[in-house]
Chain A
Amino acid sequence: MPNEGRQIVIPGQILGDMPAFKPGRGTFVENKKIYAERLGVLNIQDNFINIIALKGRYEPIVGDFVIGVVEEASTSNWMVDINAPYPALLHVHEVPWEIEFADTEKYLNTGDAILAKVLSVDESKKLQITLNDRNLFKLKGGHIIEFEPSIYRRIMGKKYSMIEIIQKYTRCRIKVGKNGRIWIEGDAEGIGKVLQAISKIESEAATFGLTDRIEELLKKDAKDVR
């Protein structure tokens, strides 16, 4: 029904039986029955039962674009906070600069922000990230805020529809990290509107028709649109 919210499930809630259904993300199996392991929204595709989590810390996956904040520089690497349960290691070989031994602080120091990519996650969740890619770099200027990581997809929208609307009406340059961080560059008013939009998406993540409502919100006293 288009006017209702999506169906919300809670941990331990029974979702379906195998083999008619198959266990997808956010589920566990007991005695051939599939249960939700998290608070989230039910999503069934090709008989796979998935739960799209509504809350929860960011869990890194190889290839994710993330916005990190450098915690400390050591002789051959940096420890970077990527808003995950674990800090990430950035090795000197994984940056585009030629670094003299122990000169790490000259390039990245505590408090610097970077747009990076998750390189590896081992079985004990030790994380490594990389800056070795043309679209990865040290961030300068602008503002950084955090959002509920589980709504990343909502902020991007289907085929990036949501993030494009936000950029269009606020005229800000925006980088959205999968890890629940956003970097915004623009004037104070534009940045303020981006924050408003994100806040609204956060509180209405489980509903339908959100993209239209965000567009309406941003259209109000928007400057001329590109």
Chain B
Amino acid sequence: MTIVPIIKRDYITNLAEQGKRMDGRIFDQYRKIEIQTKVVNKAEGSARVKIGNTQVLVGIKMGLGEPFPDTPNMGVLSTAAELVPLASPDFESGPPREDAIELARVVDRGVRESKVVDVEKLVITPGELVWLVFIDIHVLDYDGNLFDAASLGALAALSTTIVPAKRFEEQLPEGHKKEDFPLPMSEPPISCTAVKINDFVLFDACFDEEVIADARLTVATDHNGDIRAMQKGLSGSFTKEEIQKVIKGALDNGKEIRKTLKEATSS
């Protein structure tokens, strides 16, 4: 594991005491966000998201299969994340460990609980045949804040996904639409993550900030200003006031990021 020198740790907290960050941002400011969609030909949907130097590629693959027994009238959503060694000297090869699993599950909940993908429209024969949507998060360059980059990538990829009905036409029953169609989507939730360093709450932490952070909180909000998902991470704690601060920052930044997402996916 890369060891952060105490000097650097102290420098970051000293700057925070003056309301500053290493790269000149203020506490609730995001780095530059870039979103490109339709970047993988083989995928039914895809997006490459950069937040500062962090880069994540999300691909959507679709298939046909059985629904879950307790939800016979819904298509199946499934999310996985790979923290491949390409992205960081500290990532090791091997099956996903707890960081990758947490990332996948948090992104999954954000998509699932917000019902941004209309899974009821993905049913072919209730209880027997539904569309399966696979969301695969492939981290390419790790400089902090994978939660927001991955969530944004998933939404951008889903928003530009085309259901490949034509390719599966032989498996689709008579009378069912055999033409490709866009994945039915509604308004997306936007995930915003902040970390706590001493008593300071900083949004969109870069790698150095994340490594010394005591605690982390992700809040996903929708276009109505309601909360759809939350996840606290790391072993430090938040006070109620700090949680309120994060919620407010998530709502403010969420508005801006939602605009950026719309611009990127509307072409």
Contacts and interface: CB of A to CB of B under 8 A. Distances in A.
B24 A192 contact: yes
Contact of A71 (B3, B11, B20): B3
A69 B11 contact: no
B11 A111 contact: no
Interface string B1-39: 001111111110001001010001000000000000000
B18 A144 contact: no
A111 B4 contact: yes
Interface string A166-203: 00000000000000000100001000100000000000
A143 B3 contact: no
A143 B8 contact: yes
A111 B15 contact: no
A113 B11 CA distance: 13
A144 B15 contact: no
A69 B5 contact: yes
Contacts of B8: 143-144
B3 A110 contact: yes
B11 A143 contact: yes
B18 A69 contact: no
Contacts of B10: 141
B9 to A, nearest CB: 7
Contacts of A110: 3
A110 B7 CA distance: 12
A139 B24 contact: no
B92 to A, nearest CB: 18
Interface residues of A, number: 16
B39 to A, nearest CB: 26
Given A142-B11, A192-B24, A111 B18 contact: no
A141 B7 contact: yes
B24 A183 contact: no
A112 interface: yes
Given A81-B3, A188-B15, A111 B9 contact: yes
B5 A113 contact: yes
Contacts of B3: 69, 71, 81, 110-111
A81 B6 CA distance: 13
Contact of B6 (A111, A183, A192): A111
A113 B24 CA distance: 25
A137 B253 CA distance: 45
Interface in A87-114: 110-113
A124 B198 CA distance: 43
Interface string A125-141: 00000000000000111
Contacts of A142: 7, 11
Interface in A55-104: 69, 71, 81
A85 to B, nearest CB: 12
A188 B10 CA distance: 13
Contacts of A192: 24
B214 to A, nearest CB: 16
Contacts of A81: 3
A183 B10 CA distance: 13
Contacts of B9: 111
A139 B18 contact: no
Contacts of A141: 7, 10
Contacts of A139: 7
A113 B20 contact: no
B20 A111 contact: no
A58 B24 CA distance: 29
B20 A183 contact: no
Nearest to B9: A111
Nearest to B208: A145
A189 to B, nearest CB: 10
Interface in A141-160: 141-144
A63 to B, nearest CB: 23
A226 B18 CA distance: 27
13 contacts: A69-B3, A69-B5, A71-B3, A81-B3, A111-B3, A111-B4, A111-B5, A112-B5, A113-B7, A141-B7, A143-B7, A144-B8, A183-B7
Interface of A: 69, 71, 81, 110-113, 139-144, 183, 188, 192
Given A140-B7, A143-B11, A188-B20, 16 more contacts: A69-B5, A71-B3, A81-B3, A111-B3, A111-B6, A111-B9, A112-B6, A113-B5, A113-B6, A141-B10, A142-B7, A143-B8, A144-B7, A144-B8, A188-B15, A188-B18
